[in-house]
Amino acid sequence: MPTITLRLELHNPTKVKQEMYERMTEVNTEFANWLLDHPELNQATSKIFKAFSSQRFPSAVVNQTIREVKSQKKNQKTKRFRTLWCCFNNQNVKVEKKGEFYTVSFPTLEKRVGVPVVTRPYQEAWLNRLLNGTAKQGAAKLYKKRKKWCLAIAITFEVKPRHETKVMGVDLGLRYLAVASVGTKSWFFKGNQCAFVRRRYAALRRRLGKAKKLHMIRKIGRKESRWMKDQNHKISRQIVNFALANGVGVIRMEELTGIRKRATSAKEAGRSLHAWAFHQLQTMIAYKAEMAGIRVEWVKPTYTSQTCKCGHREKGNRNGIHFQCKKCGYTLHADLNGAINIAKAISGFAA
């Protein structure tokens, strides 16, 4: 079953509540770092918190933190936690509707009280599904973003699979971020705006680097990432809508482990490809397709850009965005030809 994360902003929490949330986060982070060095971490239960501190703290949060620390240490992902937000399992977060307003309650340092949340039609639709049982509530996380406290709730739900038999291929690239092909229809997503923005940010980073303004470099890096994520969201939504409008039941994409080889120069690879989130776009297409009941299949990328519909394969068939078969003379936009071959899975399916 697909899972989404529903982000809910807490509506105007009092100063006292905000300070309590801050304190909970601080204690939770300190506890997690203390656990990292504890010799009995693998056998730890919520009772271990008493050895860390005598203060009152929600056992529901303690249990989730122990699980997180165990996972992190097992995978050796971190040495110390800078911030570890308080998390709760599905049994410790309650969603309710009171009149026209929605509230959430979760364990805190005080008694449980329903906190109103800011909702828009999208959030309300998912909260209603939680309340009527057509979706299942998962774990939740209390966190702060841009000076606002929020609660992120995982929601799982069932999707009826589509019975359409059409297959759509999606080719990702540099000049065209994505090309989608199904039957005789196709859609091109140009990459010139992305390339322009990337070059602008790269030039700005160079100037800031010379001025030793490392904080600003990190700040614009985050801004650039947010911009690219927004672009990927829009592109992936359009691709899935295009699939739905054309009766597609399966979307096929390449495994992109070797996509760096497509860049024509090291500079192009570094600026346009190394920084650009191919994997993020693929992930967004995949989960949006899954939510719509469309199956996603992965194919091997080998020779999809070099193979003609007549079956002839030759590196010289492709020259940039132009494809012309050296054997039969067939011509087509190279990325569209790649999308068609991906749809046909000419190189076989990835393991």
Q: Could you tell me if residue 349 is inside a domain?
A: no
Looking at the structure, do residues 310 and 174 belong to the same domain, yes or no?
yes
- Using alpha carbons, select from 132, 339, 138 the residue that is nearest to residue 253: 339
Looking at the structure, do residues 198 and 337 belong to the same domain, yes or no?
yes
| Residue-range definition of the domain harbouring residue 338 | 166-344
Distance CA 325, CA 348 (A): 21
Looking at the structure, do residues 231 and 301 belong to the same domain, yes or no?
yes
For the segment 84-93, the average pLDDT, to the nearest whole number, is 95
Q: Which residues pair with 143 in a beta bridge?
A: 150
Where residue 284 sits, what CATH number does that domain have?
Answer: 3.30.420
How many domains is the chain partitioned into structurally? 2
Structure tokens at 14: 């009092």
Q: Could you tell me if residue 51 is inside a domain?
A: yes
- pLDDT exceeds 80 at position 4: yes
High-pLDDT (> 70) share of the chain, %? 93
Do 335 and 188 meet the contact criterion of CB atoms below 8 Å apart? yes
For the segment 235-253, the average pLDDT, to the nearest whole number, is 97
Q: Could you tell me if residue 351 is inside a domain?
A: no
Per-residue pLDDT, 199: 87
Per-residue pLDDT, 276: 57
pLDDT tens digits along 160-193: 888 898 999 999 988 899 999 999 999 999 988 8
Looking at the structure, do residues 115 and 222 belong to the same domain, yes or no?
no
Backbone phi, then psi, for 228, in 5-degree steps?
-65, -35
For the segment 209-224, the average pLDDT, to the nearest whole number, is 88
**The last residue of a domain, from among 101, 123, 156:** 156
Per-residue pLDDT, 116: 95
Range name among 245-249, 256-260, 292-296 with the lowest pLDDT average: 256-260
Per-residue pLDDT, 299: 95
pLDDT tens digits along 314-343: 999 999 999 999 999 999 999 999 999 999
Do 313 and 323 meet the contact criterion of CB atoms below 8 Å apart? no
For the segment 244-257, the average pLDDT, to the nearest whole number, is 91
Looking at the structure, do residues 195 and 79 belong to the same domain, yes or no?
no
**The last residue of a domain, from among 134, 156, 178:** 156
Q: Could you tell me if residue 255 is inside a domain?
A: yes
pLDDT-based confidence at residue 269 (cuts at 50, 70, 90):
very low
Residue 207: how many other CB atoms lie within 10 Å: 11
For the segment 202-206, the average pLDDT, to the nearest whole number, is 89
Most confident segment among 70-74, 136-140, 203-207: 136-140
Looking at the structure, do residues 269 and 137 belong to the same domain, yes or no?
no
Taking each helix axis from N to C terminus, what angle separates 214-245 and 278-291, rounded to the nearest 10 degrees? 40
Per-residue pLDDT, 246: 96
For the segment 258-287, the average pLDDT, to the nearest whole number, is 64
Looking at the structure, do residues 136 and 247 belong to the same domain, yes or no?
no
Per-residue pLDDT, 194: 85
What is the average pLDDT score of the chain? 90
Structure tokens at 90: 């599905």
**Residue carrying structure tokens 């399916």:** 349
Looking at the structure, do residues 11 and 127 belong to the same domain, yes or no?
yes
Per-residue pLDDT, 77: 66
pLDDT tens digits along 108-149: 988 887 899 999 999 999 999 999 999 999 999 999 998 999
Looking at the structure, do residues 178 and 310 belong to the same domain, yes or no?
yes
Looking at the structure, do residues 150 and 170 belong to the same domain, yes or no?
no
Do 280 and 318 meet the contact criterion of CB atoms below 8 Å apart? no
Q: Could you tell me if residue 68 is inside a domain?
A: yes
- pLDDT exceeds 50 at position 275: no
Looking at the structure, do residues 197 and 226 belong to the same domain, yes or no?
yes
pLDDT-based confidence at residue 39 (cuts at 50, 70, 90):
confident
Per-residue pLDDT, 259: 52
Q: Could you tell me if residue 284 is inside a domain?
A: yes
Q: Could you tell me if residue 33 is inside a domain?
A: yes
Distance CA 104, CA 151 (A): 9
Looking at the structure, do residues 192 and 308 belong to the same domain, yes or no?
yes
SS (H, E, C) the chain: CCEEEEEEEECCCCHHHHHHHHHHHHHHHHHHHHHHCCCCHHHCCHHHHHHHCCCCCCHHHHHHHHHHHHHHHHHCCCCCCCCCCEEECHHHCEEEEECCEEEEECCCCCCCCCEEEECCHHHHHHHHHHHHCCCEEEEEEEEEECCEEEEEEEEECCCCCCCCCEEEEEEECCCEEEEEEECCEEEEEECHHHHHHHHHHHHHHHHHHHCCCHHHHHHHHHHHHHHHHHHHHHHHHHHHHHHHHCCEEEEEEECCCCHHHHCCCHHHHHHHHHCCCHHHHHHHHHHHHHHCCCEEEEECCCCCCCECCCCCECHHHEECCEEECCCCCCEEEHHHHHHHHHHHCCCCECC
**The last residue of a domain, from among 127, 156, 185:** 156
